[in-house]
Amino acid sequence: MSETTTIRLPPKLRARVRALAEKSGRSAHSFILEAVERHAAYEEEMRNLVKEALAADADIERTGEVYRADDVHAWVDRLAKGAAPRPKPWHR
C-alpha cells in the first residue's frame, strides 16, 4: 500500500516538472515518481559498486595478486572471440 509524502518544490522546479510531464503526456506525480525511482536505483548501484571495489581491494591486500593491464586487455580481446583462460596474476 502506498503512503503519501509531501515535497515542497521551488516554483521554478515545479514549473519545469509540470511542463516536462505535460509534454510527455504524463502527470507531474508520475514524472516525480519515476525520477525518485531512478535516483534510488542509481544510489543503490553506486553503493554496490563501492562495496565490490572495497572487497576487491581487500582481496588484493590479502593475496597480493594483481593483473597487468596489458594482460587483461589481451584477455578481453580473446574473450570477445570466444572462451579464453584468465591471465596469470602478478604478485607484488
Report the number of distinct structural domains present in the chain: 1
Q: How far apart are CA 12 and CA 15, in angstroms?
A: 5
Task: Kindly report, residue by residue over 8-30, the tens digit of the pLDDT.
Answer: 999 999 999 999 999 999 999 99
Pick from 13, 35, 17: nearest CA to 27: 17
Range of the domain at 65: 11-91
Could you tell me if residue 4 is inside a domain?
no
Could you tell me if residue 2 is inside a domain?
no
Could you tell me if residue 5 is inside a domain?
no
Task: Please identify which residue in the block is written with the cell numbers 596474476.
Answer: 89
- Residue 7, pLDDT above cutoff 70: yes
Cβ proximity of 69 and 80 under 8 Å:
no
User: Which of the four pLDDT bands, split at 50, 70 and 90, describes residue 83?
Assistant: confident
Cα-based torsion angle of the residue sequence 40, 2, 22, 13 in order, rounded to the nearest 10 degrees: -50
Could you tell me if residue 1 is inside a domain?
no
User: Which of the four pLDDT bands, split at 50, 70 and 90, describes residue 2?
Assistant: confident
Could you tell me if residue 59 is inside a domain?
yes
pLDDT at 92: 67
pLDDT at 17: 98
